[in-house]
Structure 1
Amino acid sequence: MYLGDETWWDLEDYFDDESLALVPLGSTEQHGPHLPLATDHLIAEAFAREAADRTGYLCTPTVNIGVSPHHKQFYGTMWVDAETFRSYIESLTRNLAYHGIDRVIYVNAHGGNVDPLREVGRRLRDDEVLYAIEWMWDESIPELIEEVFEQPGPHGGPKETSLIQYLDGDLVHDDRLTDARDGGLLDWENEDGVRVHGARTFYDAVDNTDNGVLGDQTDATAEKGEQLFEAAAEQLVELCEWLDAQPAEDLMPKDHR
């Protein structure tokens, strides 16, 4: 069920009977010469809506702009500071609690949102408002990603490219995949300068990659995207069912020993 499609009259039964909501979050930021700036929030919304359709749980509107200052040098990237993002998401989530939701899954598709979302979840749990957890699609299927791609890349690589090819292929500039690979950073894990004596010495994406992306984009296909989507969507469905089955008291902080 998508919240934005319903009237308030038709939502009363849901809030009376159910207690779980899915909140998709992404970003509006550069994803190289081949992918749209909407990549992350398109992916997040696709997963959240798919899980909502399969389970009947509520999906809220998508948060389209996230914590992305590390991509600021690339035209069109939009971002909010982490503190602003945390405050906004906490307020939004408290709104859901007001209506009766006591457990939330942040369906996230942007790495810059992870730490702020975890902080918001802890704050809401410590205040015993509700239980909120962050879910990242690629972290739910790491073995499959390693099996499918030799160089997946953490940003704008073949895993994200494949998903957008599957979800909305018209948005992908397939004729630029070779340029994306050759102008980016292919081997993230082994590149000199990415880590120095165990420290990450960079702050912005442009410090490592001229065109903003990593991995081998030429390895992407819509068929691989469908495989990734189905596997991760199933993981999200199972997470929804697990979370819904937990007693509310078990989700709150334990008493002091």
Structure 2
Amino acid sequence: MYLADRTWPELSDYVAEESLAVVPLGSTEQHGPHLPLSTDHRIAEALARDASERTGYLCTPTVDVGVSVHHKQFHGTMWADAPAFRDYVESFSRNLAYHGVDRIVYVNAHGGNQTHLREVGRRLREDEVAYAVEWMWDESIPEVVNDIFERNGPHGGPKETAMMMHIDPDLVREEKLEAARDGGRVEWPDDDAYVRGARNFYDSIDNTDNGVLGDQTDATPEKGELLFEKASDQLVRLLEWLDDRRFEDLMAKPHVDPQPGSRR
């Protein structure tokens, strides 16, 4: 069920029976010469909408701009400052809770959002407003990703390329795949990325001239379809698991005994 296409009475029927919402989040940022800037948020939305249709749970509109300042040197990249992003996500999450949603799954497809979404989830849980959890599609199926790609790369690599070949092939510049590989960095991390345990980089351009990592020529639509189906299955299972939990059991555990001040 897609929230924005429903009327308010239809949504009142939903919250009378259910209390879970799926929120897709991504970014609008460079993904090399072969993929559109919309890559992350298109993947997140496609997975969220698919899982929502399969389960009947509520899916919200997509958050298209995320924490992407580390891609700022490349044309077109948009970003929100981290505090503003966290406050924005927390604000609309509290809106959902006001309407009766107390479990939220952030369907995320951008690594730069992860830490901040978990912080928002902690805030909401501490206030006992909602239980919100961040879900990253590729982290739900690491074995599948590792099995089908020899040199994957964390950004603009074959896994994202394959997913976009499946989701929206017209946006993939297949004639640019070799250029993406040859102009980026195939092996990651390299010897310069970490120095004696310290990350020696802040921005994507510090590691790759064209903004991407991995071997993009290893991507195919068939691999993208497999990734999509496996990830969607994991998301469906997560939604069903979360819906089956009691809200009280999802909240923070109490302080261990004796409770502070209990012997005064």
**Counterpart in the other structure of 1:198:** 197
**Counterpart in the other structure of 1:216:** 215
Partner secondary structure for residue 132 of structure 2: strand
Letter in 2 for 1:230: E
**Counterpart in the other structure of 1:78:** 78
Q: TM-score, normalization: structure 1?
A: 0.99
Letter in 2 for 1:129: V
Q: Matched residues in 1 for 2:194 and 2:80: separation? A: 27
**Counterpart in the other structure of 2:173:** 173
Partner secondary structure for residue 181 of structure 1: helix
Instruction: Show the 5 A alignment for 1:1-257.
Output: 1-189=1-189, 191-257=190-256
Q: Matched residues in 1 for 2:50 and 2:30: separation? A: 25
Superposition RMSD on alpha carbons, in Å?
A: 0.5
Q: Matched residues in 2 for 1:127 and 1:201: separation? A: 37
> How far off is 1:197 after superposition?
1.1
Letter in 2 for 1:217: Q
Q: Matched residues in 1 for 2:76 and 2:113: separation? A: 18
Q: Provide, for residues 65-123 of structure 1, a one-character-per-residue CA deviation record: whole Å limited to 9, x for no partner.
A: 00000000000000010000000000010000000001000000000000000000000
Letter in 2 for 1:148: I
Q: Matched residues in 1 for 2:251 and 2:55: separation? A: 24
Letter in 1 for 2:6: E
Q: Which has the larger radius of gyration?
A: 2
Q: Matched residues in 2 for 1:179 and 1:203: separation? A: 24
> How far off is 1:198 after superposition?
1.5
Partner secondary structure for residue 165 of structure 2: helix
Q: Matched residues in 1 for 2:55 and 2:224: separation? A: 22
Q: Provide, for residues 156-185 of structure 1, a one-character-per-residue CA deviation record: whole Å limited to 9, x for no partner.
A: 000000000000100000000000000001
Q: Matched residues in 2 for 1:243 and 1:187: separation? A: 37
> How far off is 1:11 after superposition?
1.0
Partner secondary structure for residue 168 of structure 2: helix
> How far off is 1:192 after superposition?
1.7
> How far off is 1:147 after superposition?
0.2
Q: Matched residues in 1 for 2:100 and 2:119: separation? A: 22
Superposed structure 1 runs of 4+ greater than 6 Å apart: none
Q: Provide, for residues 127-160 of structure 1, a one-character-per-residue CA deviation record: whole Å limited to 9, x for no partner.
A: 1101000000000000000000001110000000
Q: Matched residues in 1 for 2:191 and 2:32: separation? A: 21
Partner secondary structure for residue 230 of structure 1: helix
Q: Provide, for residues 30-56 of structure 1, a one-character-per-residue CA deviation record: whole Å limited to 9, x for no partner.
A: 000000000000000000000000000
Q: Matched residues in 2 for 1:229 and 1:242: separation? A: 20
Q: Matched residues in 2 for 1:174 and 1:198: separation? A: 37
Letter in 1 for 2:255: H
Q: Matched residues in 2 for 1:12 and 1:235: separation? A: 28
Letter in 1 for 2:213: L
Q: Matched residues in 1 for 2:118 and 2:24: separation? A: 15
| Total equivalences in the alignment | 256
Q: TM-score, normalization: structure 2?
A: 0.96
Q: Matched residues in 2 for 1:46 and 1:184: separation? A: 27
Q: Provide, for residues 209-251 of structure 1, a one-character-per-residue CA deviation record: whole Å limited to 9, x for no partner.
A: 0000000000000000000000000000000000000011000
Q: Matched residues in 1 for 2:10 and 2:230: separation? A: 32
Identity %: 68
